[in-house]
Structure 1
Amino acid sequence: MSYQPYKKSIWLSTTMALLTANLFAQSPANIENKISVRWEVPTGISLKKNPTSKLIIKNTDSQQIALKDWSLWFNFIRGIDAKSVDSRFKLSHRNGDLFQIEFAKNNLTLQPKDTIEINFTTLGGLINYTDGPIGLYVSYDGKDTYADIKNYEAQRNTFTAEQRKAYLEQKFASNELLSKGSQQDILPLPAQASFDKTKSFKLTNTISINSDNDFNNEAALFIQFLKDQTGIQAQKSTSKDAQIKIVKTAGFEDEAYALNIDSKGIEIKASTPTGAFYGLQSLKSLIPAAAWSPTNKSLNFPYAQVKDQPRFPYRGLMLDVARNFHSKAEVLRILDAMAQYKLNKFHFHFIDDEGWRLEIPGLPELTEVGSVRSANFKDGKAIQPAYGSGAVAKEKQYLSTQDYIEILRYAAARHIDVIPEIETPGHARAAIKSMEARYNKLKKAGDLKGAEEYLLHDPEDLSVYNSAQNWNDNVLNPALPSSYQFLSKVIDEVKKMHEQAGVPLKIIDLGGDETPAGVWEKSPKIEAFMKENNITSVHDVWPYYINRINELCHSKGLIMSGWEEMGMKNFGKGMDVNPALADHNINLNVWNNLIGGGQEDLAYRLANAGYKVVFTSAYNNYLDMTWDHNFAEPGHSWVGLVDINKTYSFAPENYFINLFKDNSGNELPKDFAKNKVHLTEKGKANFLGVKAGLWSEKINNDTRLEEMIFPRLLAVADRGWAPEQSWENGENFDHQTYQKSYAGFMQKLGNDELKKLDKLNKGYHYRVPAVGVKLIDGKLTANTDYPGFKIYYSEDNTEPTLKSKEYKGAIPFNSKSTYKFRVITPIGDLGIVSTY
């Protein structure tokens, strides 16, 4: 799932600059507006192993600032070691990713325009600026008042001039390969397709569409598309001479279709509305981006014969709106893009340690407490700030029941199944704290029975553990009957929402991920539970819990889905495949395939054992990962770098064929895959498909969300739909064939599909391609990460804008000038600046 190899211990070496005795005591009020904070890291050196970085606090006011009675709080996703902290200061890890710096000596002041430099060593390394402190706020100690710091920035460049030049030349060489291939015609790639581009069929002005009544919804969506994106008006017709005919025809698989374009017009055949819908998406893919214009009243289609169906029945995206919330409107935008590229499963992760984001009738505390992050969390009416949320709680950071129902209906109309996830037993802190608040409220009112009805933790549990995200209180207790009553209640309410939407719930995901070592070991309730059930090891509590919640789901007519650990057990030497539950109808999302971690073949071992598996490859398809090693690129790094090449190169059923380096970039032994388990025929029958995952720890706005999803999601869509390619087969990877396939995909992506995303729904924010630069024969030559984009440049070290020169060819190089290159999209999104 969202594995984070961070550690809790902290080391801090602190230096102070220009501090003086507090001769003139001053009220700490308004400190947040009187200081600026900057995070800096060293340049020119590797930041992979415990680097030292620093927070610089500056007094921007004209008056001195007393350091007494206030402290600095921030979220920091890495570990810090505070064993050697300067005695004048105290740095504490509070829980999760929340840290506090207190100024222990009360007689210190910061003079106007002077600074404090707080140096600290980070455990786990740093990869880019989004690893830095976020959500900084001031706490006025003893007064229970808090305020967000207004002026904060993080350093974004760590290259020396020579490192930067080498990086840009390496990028240039990689970009050059994209020209070596023929552009793909339809994205995702169809199973079978032939085109005669010497002939075309033309649609002009007002057109007619004849569709079977079962396909009315699909036809209406296509008519609306033509209205929104072109100057062509379309209307339903019963005429057999209609320019577009959508014919219900027996014999096609559920998602299959046939598309024929010739002199007689356009005909789509399918047996189901889903097949008809996907045929229309392919037709849209054949319309070049330049034709997506309200003033364009004619469309030309090449003669074509397409017979198509997906490789896998499951082609999905997992979206996390728990760590940082994203609204219903944004979810609908994501669903539109998914539908355009034939993705059909939306795994909706709206519950985690840091937030509960769905209203549950009868349990108002889940959103009253669990969706509210506030610095004033000690009163139990909120949970603590996390992942940059800051001191002040935001309004309505959750989906109402009506919001969710609208999402369900919207998705269903676009042939997308919504699979809700209720994360258990770990990653449950928001639920635990919400039910603790409920317990305290009802107990105070004298209703002890009601208070205990949905309690999720054992108050007497003294177990010591530390989760992957550094929580020590985030696992519900499976010995409590109230834990199962809670799950039953929530599942029933979610099921009702699906019924109200007219979209029956079939699969529900109950998480099962990253339950840390040490959990339950000192719980009196667990001890009694184990004796009662003749369980001799706490490790066996795990499969008991999984089996019981699976039975709960089955009793409600549901299939249970979860992360891979649901199909695993600790047999004393760590987690391994648990064959005992393989025939219990559990679907597994397998993310853990970290190269060198020993679980690279886990998806195949689980499928071979009998579990239904969706390969959610973190190594290829975790979209919250950073693109490359430029410090200005956002994202996580624990699985390595994930650019679109790595996403497209994913071979779902022959994963090892093109693995050459581990997560750190080190070469793998040639016999690396020799002893790894491969898919058997049984395993292939259990292999449902592929999914991308997007975790939102570092994604606190919709623009960043879309930039991390796109364009990589289009590569996931292609891998899930397109037939198995020749480069995926056998034991030896055919680099040349792969590169042609990849180049063809990238040309379609850059020249066409991203231009469409500029226009769909008023424009999507995708990662703007960066610029590669190389000095050739005394001239600077530039290219982009994907083709089809304009480059703007300056020669005077200023940031390029739309008013700057447009790059149209090699530029004579002057060693006294500093050149800056950048891509700017039609909707004004800015690419990373490349400086040469």
Structure 2
Amino acid sequence: MALLTANLFAQSPSNIENKISVRWEVPTGKSLKKNPTSKLIIQNNDSQQLALKDWSLWFNFIRGIDAKSVDSRFKLSHRNGDLFQIEFAKSNLTLKPKDTIEINFTTLGGLINYTDGPIGLYISYDDKGTYADIKKYDAQKNTFTQEQQRTYLEQKFASNALLAKGKQQDILPLPEQITVDRTKSFKLTNTISISNDPEFNNETALFIQFLQEQTAVKGQKSPNREAQIKIVKETGFADEAYALNIDNKGIEIKASTATGVFYGLQSLKSLLPATDWNSKNKTLNFPYAQIKDQPRFPYRGFMLDVARNFHSKAEVLRILDAMAQYKLNKFHFHFIDDEGWRLEIPGLPELTEIGSVRSANYKDGNAIQPAYGSGASTKEKQYLSTQDYMDILKYAAARHIDVIPEIETPGHARAAIKSMEARYHKLKKAGDLKAAEEYVLHDPEDKSIYNSAQNWNDNVLNPALPSSYHFLSKVIDEIKKMHDQAGVPLKVIDLGGDETPAGAWEKSPKIEAFMKENNISSVHDVWPYYINRINELCHSKGLIMSGWEEMGMKNFGTGMDVNPALADHSINLNVWNNLIGGGQEDLAYRLANAGYKVVFTSAYNNYMDMTWDHNFAEPGHSWVGLVDINKTYSFAPENYYINLAKDNSGNDLPKDFAKNKVHLTEKGKANFLGVKAALWCEKINNDIRLEEMIFPRLLAVADRGWAPEQSWENGENFDSQTYQKGYAAFMQKLGNDELKKLDKLNKGYHYRIPAVGVKLENGKLVANTDYPGFKIYYTEDNTEPTLKSKEYKGAIPLNNKSTYKFRTITQNGGLGIVSTY
């Protein structure tokens, strides 16, 4: 391997990024849960010897690194956030042609899969402002030995086999009351007539658009009450409720509101099998059905982070379409964080001029540092213009989705802090000190030492500064104006409030003076002061403030706990922290019982950025454990402990675990708004990965938020057989029907293609998939399966000399993970 020799001749550092390749590797067959070794292998692909003294290697790494673990030839430094630099400490080192060097380092904490590896690798030349992205980089994607692989595949096979037991549900999400007779059907052919009350014109138009895009059947408006589809306004229905009836007379939807009509039409689309979603199909067959339906919860949400890695307006609109299809009604839009400010704010151009730009040249103050794989080079327009945002608002409103914008404060505010710092220096240099100080967010004399959850040491705005509140007021006003101009008034705004690190503000002279002025004895009391202050700011603008759970908590000296003092201050809380075994499993209930309005954003069940299972080839985070669709569907929002058996580390929970936890009271139920899924994008830098992490798990969240409480959710004892029957019915609808529709909606979504379970039975290999309805292809010669490979149709006699590879492949060319046996 690595041969490092004395530098024999001068070598120009130019074009190094094109001359080398880098690979990340970890040990195979060993546990990676505690401080494993990572290895970066650099290869010289050039025909010339390369000197190492004139350049250094930079990369983003989401885990921590023991800087002292590298050998003396190298110097490893943590710069800030997830940015690291490796320098070659010995100035006379070179790399021979086609040779490699290895840089080993200890990773702090565990590793779960290849997306934990270094990303965004780039070269810097002598720190002189010359940088370039490395062109060739890959990461190891398998750590199983053959024995481990086979055990894993057999466990997957057993889990998958349970999905075959049960009757497929008729509509997703499951309605409150439904009767379907599939022996009878009402047919619509060629051109169909639709009548509706005038206030339902938008909903009818969207349904006609669906027919035009997905079938060969045309819909036309008809004033005739004898129309084949009648959409009727009738009093007495709740806001989101509807009734749907299909018989030999036709299809009739009744509702009191346009929202109810819209959801009735989504159910009609769900009843229609995927085979009828065909641009050449001129006949639609609807089974006879009687449905009375309304959602279980008024809040059924999805949070999308476009701050860590940007995703465009076009992609957001695609997500809104899918949300609408499955009756999700709240879009929590997270476009501001430490690593990016993604919304244009009139009057504060620096927020996007600086805060949306990540560059290796960040030290000049005209950008923020590379993060989460952004690399050395800047990308154009990594933010939403005011018009983009207003377009999103209108699009969402037409689909009965409320957009809830989030401005992260006081932590997770680094992009804003750095942007306003650049504004300060620019205006101060121009001689306008008053204007320069107008929106400053940090105390330059602050010597506080802290480390945030994402390893930042300078990401918390200062609540002692009047300019901090002036800044928030300005941003809120501008967002409110965008809503007004779009004709979609802002009702709720989210001001973050999560993960402000311990140690922040403790050594700020501004905070010290502020505490004396306000007779505050502990820095812990600055927190509720700030929360109350920004809540009053929101109320003064006619808005409800939403935020993460910490807004309803306070450090009473022994850690954060429920703060009853603000419970009656009309604050909506998104409660995410329920790691099993972490002690906060009942936090959502304690906050709701205390009087806070709560949205249960269960990280344990509904964080879409979590990895599916412990295969190293599966992408995603793991700090909350594995989140497959079974865990998402098993979420019991109002009786959370009923099916919990193991803690976050996989250890068995005590039998009396639930008895020692707070349960939801009647008061708490009245404050329980609903459920939400969330997708954080640290590891998601393209739209394909984005959609693969969201789907199909988001459909399970939609079902949990809409469907009535199931029998397995009640009581103290979990009825696993009843649960499994319902889960199998959901999964069959998902795999056999709904994912086939996602193949066609908006020209196709990139959902996670199911992986293959494999088992040896009586000398033959049998295979199945994570969810039904997909074809398996296989090879016997260790090559990757394609659509031209053999299709699996039954047990395969095992040849011990062969290596079998199985993979699910869709007709659109979507590829599942390869299972090797």
TM-score range, shorter chain: over 0.9
Secondary structure in structure 1 of the residue aligned to 2:67 = coil
1-side partners of 2:327 and 2:127: how far apart? 55
Q: Does 1:561 align with 2:561?
A: no
Counterpart code for 2:319: I
- 1:699 is matched with 684
2:529 to 523, 544, 563: 544
- 2:556 is matched with 571
1:200 to 175, 182, 185: 185
- 1:483 is matched with 468
2-side partners of 1:320 and 1:85: how far apart? 34
2:634 to 641, 644, 649: 649
Counterpart code for 1:727: W
Secondary structure in structure 1 of the residue aligned to 2:659 = coil
Q: Does 1:286 align with 2:271?
A: yes
Can you list the C-alpha shifts for 1:810-836, whole angstroms capped at 9, x where unaligned? 111111111000011122111000001
- 2:81 is matched with 96
* Correspondences of 1:661-672 after superposition (within 5 Å): 661-672=646-657
Secondary structure in structure 1 of the residue aligned to 2:534 = helix
* Correspondences of 1:51-66 after superposition (within 5 Å): 51-66=36-51
2-side partners of 1:312 and 1:689: how far apart? 5
1:503 to 470, 488, 506: 488
Q: Does 1:191 align with 2:176?
A: yes
Q: Does 1:295 align with 2:302?
A: no
1-side partners of 2:713 and 2:795: how far apart? 38
Q: Is the 8 A contact 2:629 2:696 kept in 1?
A: yes
1:734 to 719, 723, 735: 719
Secondary structure in structure 1 of the residue aligned to 2:123 = strand
2:302 to 317, 321, 324: 317
- 2:232 is matched with 247
Structure 1 residues 204, 84: CA separation in 2 closer, same or farther (over 3 Å shift)?
A: closer
Aligned Cα RMSD in Å? 0.6
* Correspondences of 1:440-459 after superposition (within 5 Å): 440-459=425-444
Give, in angstroms, the shift of residue 85 of structure 1: 3.3
- 1:209 is matched with 194
Q: Is the 8 A contact 1:49 1:123 kept in 2?
A: yes
Secondary structure in structure 1 of the residue aligned to 2:651 = coil
1-side partners of 2:598 and 2:262: how far apart? 26
Give, in angstroms, the shift of residue 83 of structure 1: 2.2
Counterpart code for 1:223: I
2-side partners of 1:58 and 1:120: how far apart? 18
Q: Is the 8 A contact 2:342 2:356 kept in 1?
A: yes
Q: Which structure 1 residue ranges, 5 or more long, are not aligned?
A: 1-15
Q: Does 1:177 align with 2:146?
A: no
Q: Which structure 2 residue ranges, 5 or more long, are not aligned?
A: none
Q: Does 1:753 align with 2:745?
A: no
Secondary structure in structure 1 of the residue aligned to 2:453 = coil
1-side partners of 2:346 and 2:69: how far apart? 50
Give, in angstroms, the shift of residue 97 of structure 1: 0.1
2-side partners of 1:562 and 1:826: how far apart? 43
2:215 to 207, 230, 238: 230
- 2:583 is matched with 598
2-side partners of 1:689 and 1:143: how far apart? 53
Give, in angstroms, the shift of residue 808 of structure 1: 1.0
Secondary structure in structure 2 of the residue aligned to 1:459 = coil
2-side partners of 1:209 and 1:261: how far apart? 14
Can you list the C-alpha shifts for 1:295-340, whole angstroms capped at 9, x where unaligned? 1000111111000000000000000000000000000000000000
2:142 to 157, 161, 164: 157
Q: Does 1:32 align with 2:14?
A: no
Q: Does 1:275 align with 2:265?
A: no
2-side partners of 1:286 and 1:826: how far apart? 23
Secondary structure in structure 2 of the residue aligned to 1:49 = coil
Give, in angstroms, the shift of residue 86 of structure 1: 2.3
2-side partners of 1:270 and 1:322: how far apart? 39
Give, in angstroms, the shift of residue 84 of structure 1: 4.3
Secondary structure in structure 1 of the residue aligned to 2:658 = coil
Secondary structure in structure 2 of the residue aligned to 1:305 = strand
Secondary structure in structure 1 of the residue aligned to 2:213 = helix
Counterpart code for 1:139: S
Deviates further, 100-109 or 327-336? 100-109
Counterpart code for 1:662: D
2:502 to 511, 517, 537: 517
- 1:80 is matched with 65
Deviates further, 82-91 or 812-821? 82-91
Q: Is the 8 A contact 1:17 1:115 kept in 2?
A: yes
- 1:361 is matched with 346
Q: Is the 8 A contact 1:692 1:713 kept in 2?
A: yes
2-side partners of 1:405 and 1:172: how far apart? 47
1:724 to 676, 701, 709: 709
Deviates further, 91-100 or 656-665? 656-665
Q: Is the 8 A contact 2:69 2:104 kept in 1?
A: no
1:328 to 293, 296, 313: 313
* Correspondences of 1:337-376 after superposition (within 5 Å): 337-376=322-361
1-side partners of 2:137 and 2:73: how far apart? 23
Give, in angstroms, the shift of residue 87 of structure 1: 2.4
1-side partners of 2:526 and 2:127: how far apart? 43
Can you list the C-alpha shifts for 1:359-406, whole angstroms capped at 9, x where unaligned? 000000000000000000000000000000000010000000000000
2-side partners of 1:624 and 1:30: how far apart? 36
2-side partners of 1:251 and 1:190: how far apart? 18
1:423 to 404, 408, 421: 408
2-side partners of 1:500 and 1:759: how far apart? 33
- 1:23 is matched with 8
- 1:712 is matched with 697
1-side partners of 2:584 and 2:508: how far apart? 31
Give, in angstroms, the shift of residue 451 of structure 1: 0.4
Counterpart code for 1:67: L
Can you list the C-alpha shifts for 1:477-524, whole angstroms capped at 9, x where unaligned? 000000000000000000000000000000000000000000000000
Q: Does 1:795 align with 2:784?
A: no
Secondary structure in structure 2 of the residue aligned to 1:282 = helix
Can you list the C-alpha shifts for 1:721-778, whole angstroms capped at 9, x where unaligned? 0000000000000000000000000000000000000000000000000000011111
Q: Is the 8 A contact 1:465 1:519 kept in 2?
A: yes
Counterpart code for 1:720: G
1-side partners of 2:92 and 2:563: how far apart? 60
1-side partners of 2:561 and 2:300: how far apart? 26
Q: Is the 8 A contact 1:799 1:820 kept in 2?
A: yes
Give, in angstroms, the shift of residue 669 of structure 1: 1.1
Secondary structure in structure 2 of the residue aligned to 1:802 = coil
TM-score under structure 2 length normalisation: 1.00
2-side partners of 1:112 and 1:343: how far apart? 57
Can you list the C-alpha shifts for 1:593-644, whole angstroms capped at 9, x where unaligned? 0011100000000000000000000000000000000000000000000000
1:629 to 614, 623, 631: 614
Secondary structure in structure 1 of the residue aligned to 2:94 = strand
TM-score under structure 1 length normalisation: 0.98
- 2:479 is matched with 494
Q: Is the 8 A contact 2:755 2:770 kept in 1?
A: yes
- 1:167 is matched with 152
1-side partners of 2:684 and 2:71: how far apart? 33
Give, in angstroms, the shift of residue 664 of structure 1: 1.4
2-side partners of 1:387 and 1:343: how far apart? 29
Q: Is the 8 A contact 1:330 1:702 kept in 2?
A: yes
Give, in angstroms, the shift of residue 88 of structure 1: 2.3
Secondary structure in structure 1 of the residue aligned to 2:458 = coil
Q: Is the 8 A contact 1:69 1:142 kept in 2?
A: no
